[in-house]
Structure 1
Amino acid sequence: MTTVDSRQIPLEEYLLDDRSSYVKLPTVSLPEGSEVLVGDEAWRAAMDMATTATGHPLVAVDVYPGADVAAIADRIRQVLPEADVIDVEDEAAADRAVIDALIARNLTDDRVFGVMSHFTVDEFYDAQRLAALQRRIEERTGPTVIVGWGADLAAGRRADALVLVDLARWEIQQRLRAGATNWRADNGDEDILRKYKRGFFVEWRTADRHKRTLFDRIDLLVDGNAALDVAGAVRGGDFRQALSDAATAPFRVVPFFDPGVWGGQWMKSTLDLDPSMANYAWCFDCVPEENSLLLEAAGRIVEIPAMDLVLSRPRELLGERTFARFGAEFPIRFDFLDTMGGGNLSLQVHPLTEYIRDTFGMAYTQDESYYMLDADEDAVVYLGLKSGVDADEMLAALRAATDGEHPFDAEKYVNVFPARKHDHFAIPAGTVHCSGANSMVLEISATPFIFTFKLWDWGRVGLDGVPRPVHLDHGEQNIQWERDTEWVERNLVGQVEELRREPGLVEERTGLHELEFIEVRRHWFEQEAAHDTEGTVNVLNLVEGDEVEIVSPTGAFAPYVVHYAETFIVPAAVGPYLIRRTANSRSERFGTVKAYVRGTRTSDA
């Protein structure tokens, strides 16, 4: 008998009767007639584009930090031996000591948390070296290719052909875990949490700010996630058209999965993941800041960060009111937390809005909710404090537990509620909480996602053998002690309100508290359910049923098929849409949960 933990639970218990058709590599179509160039074709095409413009062609290859600039430059030298290929980072980047001093305040001494930066890429370059490089480029006498983060800057934004080598954050994380350094850093052996922090708070913010100035001008986009000999590339016009098309039709981002110390078995079996993995703890199923889009033409793929769509088409994607409120940020996050056959999540609390803004420079906070996609009979959620808890006593017990010898008695201080399939628990910032073992949680939340203050981690160490960081100093400043048993039962548990009932259709409001900005609606239906974005982005998951399709009543887009447990995005620009069973559907009933930003619909005006 195959088992998944020490309790000898049969793995077969975690298999659905009908295996999911969950699509792990969803694609977005490039416009008709697009061509995906592969490998060295891209560099030849870039030089051809530049050669038509000037006698001494200049190609700027701007590279997202995390890509191997030296390897890219070497490859270009092999393909274009007639060109002078210059690594702009080696030529003009500021010294490491200067960069480290510049960003030290943003990185802080903390292992996990920094302060959001507002740097621009030019601040990481030495002004004199950059000026000298620009003079060298202006005086060129033959074909020249400049490569690196900020190549467009070195070219004075006057390159004859502009190329962007783009890179998804999930791929960057894999490289950092494998020993890669941060940009211009000597930290290959550093703790991955510190590397990620440097990317999150400094490099990626700066890089996205820079990249946004390139989108309307790039002649070629190259997939920096793939090996150089097989990487796909697409012409700038086709890239821009694909993003415009994506902002007017339903789509999915590419999910990624990761193991963890508390990870379970549900996703592995139900979503048909690698059976050799010990567990899967996480799935980011809709976090555009981290996820990718796969642009496809004639079976060839170009992977780009999903944030490219958010940054380049925010009004069409988010809607005018949501964009006015959040800017070019995707404010809603859907992810999976799998503890089926695993363990409890860490006991934790998230920062209040004022605290996250003043301490970390974030504009809004990490409000959450747990939607139970599945649950065993013993599943529970820890939520809020028991009435009468003494704050000083609880904090003293938490501090004593940090020595590893005095386990924290969580159930003495924290409410424990049974969790059943399709329950929805609201978790506004400041509420002590965690999911227990044997649950499959669809987390419907605000997008900030690393601001978890662990209070107690059940005496565990991370997968790397190092104790996971606990942040009691932050946590105690954010715990809302008045959220006791009565308050939680009245505000956060069982908050389901029926809004509409028709033959074959029920619409409910469920989940998030009035302190949170996300509205969640659940639709149960037998044949179809009508929706309307009403001018704001919708994020949905098929929580019941095998397969549905998203249809435009006017035929504005082709029917889009969605399977059980898949999260999908309906851009604000879509307007009215139907969700209905497909000809292949075998389920008798279907259920979707839909999230959107409160107060941004046209009917709210």
Structure 2
Amino acid sequence: MYDAFPKTRVKVQGGFNGYSAIQTEIRRTKSNVIAVECYPAINEEEILERLIAPLEPGLIIQATEQFYTVEKVTTMIEENLTEDRIFGVVSHHQLQDFIDGKQQEILQQKIQTVLASNQSVVVYGVGASLLYPADLLIYADLSRWEIQKRYQSGTYSNWQANNAGEDPLRMIKRGYFFEWRVADRLKQQLFNSIDYFLDTHQANQPVMLEATAYFEALEQIARQPFRLVPFFDPGVWGGNWMQETFEVEQYKDNLAWSFDGVPEENSLLLATNTIQMEIPANNLVFYQPAALLGERVYDQLGKEFPIRFNYLDTVGGGNLSLQVHPLVEYVQKTFGMTYTQDESYYIIEAKDQASLYLGVKNGTNKKELMKALQHSASSGERFPDEQYIYQRPVKKHDHYSIPAGTIHSAGANTVVLEISATPNRFTFKLWDWGRLGLDGLPRPVHLNHGEPNIVISRDQDWVEQELCNQMELIAEYPEWQEERTGLHKTEFIETRRHTFTGKVLHQTHGSVNMLNLVEGEEAIIESLDHSFDPFVVHYGETFIIPESVKQYTIQPYGRSIGKQLMTIKAFVR
């Protein structure tokens, strides 16, 4: 019953399906200067041919013409890109920093000449809104997961890069550390000026919605439970449990990951009475941060969604890479991030010989460990993990904390619900079992970053005492109980597990809540004051409760009535 395309119902009016209807609406506005601002990796050629050209304006300008050359832009951001295949440094640029003033002035004079002859002008592309004051501003948007798929296709470039077909990891790095940052800053600056939002996720099937209705939809979502559109991805260690259990993407060899709770990259699928529109979930964070996150969390972290849920499936597959996440000071000084990826592994399924690598064996010497890792990296010889790394068996519904600095890996025949802080690119692989990636290239190993972040005192004894199944009973009633579980005391995210056969009263604890139904077929979420419609979730689905909800109930539903269910909930302490 897992819903791989969950719709979020909103009560707004309007909307336009298809280029013909969109063109009719644009003509109705009788605008002299139209700007179609585009998020990076939008198919600008389709926008030109299917939307703009049929309008027959007197002048069409691609916004790229006002910016510095590809070479100069790349030179300006060299420090952000670095030579590394994966890691860069977060850019603090504005898109305006890359405008060639002289070229922009020439284009502006062209526009004025055309307008003087009573003809219309359309500017389109990334930065279109920066060229000339527009009478009508349309924002063509795209989610980051769709962007990554377009990079992998080999037919799209990064903004001002002309690098189609380049190593997708390098393209994603440029997106993550540079262009998505500047594009998001511009988008938020334009919120008060945008007239329409345009969805072009599906080729030649555009959907457009008035900005007033779009923002009203976001306000509604920030006050009700909702799900994101999950995405799935294969990997060299991937398994088949998700394909079989969720009945998704069974045509692929395996699925290693599912990202079902990552607003930074996932989409929201808005559904009204007339349209269905896919939008970046991050826009909800940008537009309704206080209602969604809570005032306290917003004050602490800004417009950053702090929690992420994702699956790691190795059933029938192999071990994850042996890895470590950076300590806070290191990620701040080295990459320009404000916080790091503390996490936990909640065991959803454990088949025969399922295990977890966590910490080092008692008495492990860090110099000897690094010498062995470096030898394996340079020679290709097997790293003798059994000499250095602590491995323990796991069972279903175990929960293991993995604070930054702890060596870890999920073993084969395991399904993990990974609950972590949001920064998601800062995994330093120490050993990858001698494998190549799906692209046929060696998977990047980063011992230079890993070594200063390994906390060698996290040995077997410490791990067993501090990180393994740290359960604390919070409340117990006839029909339900609540436990604090999983996340270490040094981490800012707290997790609670509820086991129940009846109605459970939940508090948001002053923070956005992210939950997953980890046991049972169906559950229903309801409002105490009827401020949102009842919301049904199914086994394995991740869902979000905005902080503005304050209180809500969850109870068995449908075929699960009379049975025992379990949810895991995360929030910012």
TM-score of Structure 1 vs Structure 2, range by shorter chain: over 0.9
Instruction: Give SS of 1:40's match.
Output: helix
Instruction: Give SS of 1:275's match.
Output: coil
Residue 347 of structure 2 contacts residue 394 of structure 2 at CA under 8 Å; is this kept in 1? yes
Matches within 5 A, 1:482-497: 482-497=457-472
Shift of the alpha carbon at 1:263?
A: 0.2
CA 1:289/1:394 → structure 2, altered by over 3 Å: closer, same or farther? Answer: same
Report the counterpart of residue 12 of structure 1 in structure 2.
none
Question: What is the aligned counterpart of 2:70 among 96, 119, 125?
Answer: 96
Report the counterpart of residue 464 of structure 1 in structure 2.
439
Q: Distance in 1 between matches of 2:124 and 2:521?
A: 48
Q: Does 1:24 align with 2:1?
A: no
Shift of the alpha carbon at 1:76?
A: 2.9
Question: What is the aligned counterpart of 1:116 among 70, 76, 90?
Answer: 90
Q: Deviations over 1:347-400 (max 9, x none)?
A: 000000000000000000011110001111311110011110111111111011
Q: Distance in 2 between matches of 1:587 and 1:493?
A: 31
Shift of the alpha carbon at 1:101?
A: 0.3
Report the counterpart of residue 455 of structure 1 in structure 2.
430
Shift of the alpha carbon at 1:83?
A: 4.4
Matches within 5 A, 1:56-455: 57-89=32-64, 91-139=65-113, 140=115, 141-155=118-132, 158-179=133-154, 180-228=156-204, 230-298=205-273, 300-455=275-430
Shift of the alpha carbon at 1:404?
A: 4.9
Q: Distance in 2 between matches of 1:29 and 1:45?
A: 24
Residue 545 of structure 1 contacts residue 587 of structure 1 at CA under 8 Å; is this kept in 2? no
CA 1:487/1:519 → structure 2, altered by over 3 Å: closer, same or farther? Answer: same
Report the counterpart of residue 501 of structure 2 in structure 1.
526
Structure 1 length-normalised TM: 0.92
Q: Does 1:41 align with 2:17?
A: no
**Matching residue's letter, 1:151:** A
Question: What is the aligned counterpart of 1:510 among 462, 472, 485?
Answer: 485
Residue 58 of structure 2 contacts residue 119 of structure 2 at CA under 8 Å; is this kept in 1? yes
Q: Deviations over 1:47-101 (max 9, x none)?
A: 42244xxxxx111110001112233122234321244222121x21210111010
Report the counterpart of residue 454 of structure 2 in structure 1.
479
Q: Unpaired runs of 5+ in structure 2?
A: none
Shift of the alpha carbon at 1:586?
A: 5.0
Residue 366 of structure 1 contacts residue 445 of structure 1 at CA under 8 Å; is this kept in 2? yes
Q: Distance in 1 between matches of 2:507 and 2:561?
A: 26
Q: Distance in 2 between matches of 1:194 and 1:507?
A: 44
Instruction: Give SS of 1:425's match.
Output: strand
Q: Distance in 2 between matches of 1:460 and 1:325?
A: 40
Report the counterpart of residue 15 of structure 1 in structure 2.
none
Residue 70 of structure 1 contacts residue 87 of structure 1 at CA under 8 Å; is this kept in 2? no
Q: Distance in 1 between matches of 2:26 and 2:181?
A: 27
CA 1:101/1:82 → structure 2, altered by over 3 Å: closer, same or farther? Answer: closer
Shift of the alpha carbon at 1:548?
A: 0.7
Per mean C-alpha deviation after superposition, the further-off stretch among 209-218 and 358-367 is 209-218
Q: Distance in 1 between matches of 2:321 and 2:284?
A: 33
Residue 36 of structure 2 contacts residue 140 of structure 2 at CA under 8 Å; is this kept in 1? yes
Q: Distance in 2 between matches of 1:201 and 1:221?
A: 25
Q: Deviations over 1:157-212 (max 9, x none)?
A: x3111100001111111111111211121212311110100000000011011111
Identity of aligned residues (%): 47
**Matching residue's letter, 2:28:** D
Shift of the alpha carbon at 1:123?
A: 1.5
Q: Deviations over 1:401-448 (max 9, x none)?
A: 113542001121111111110100000000000100001100000000
Instruction: Give SS of 2:517's match.
Output: strand
CA 1:400/1:231 → structure 2, altered by over 3 Å: closer, same or farther? Answer: same
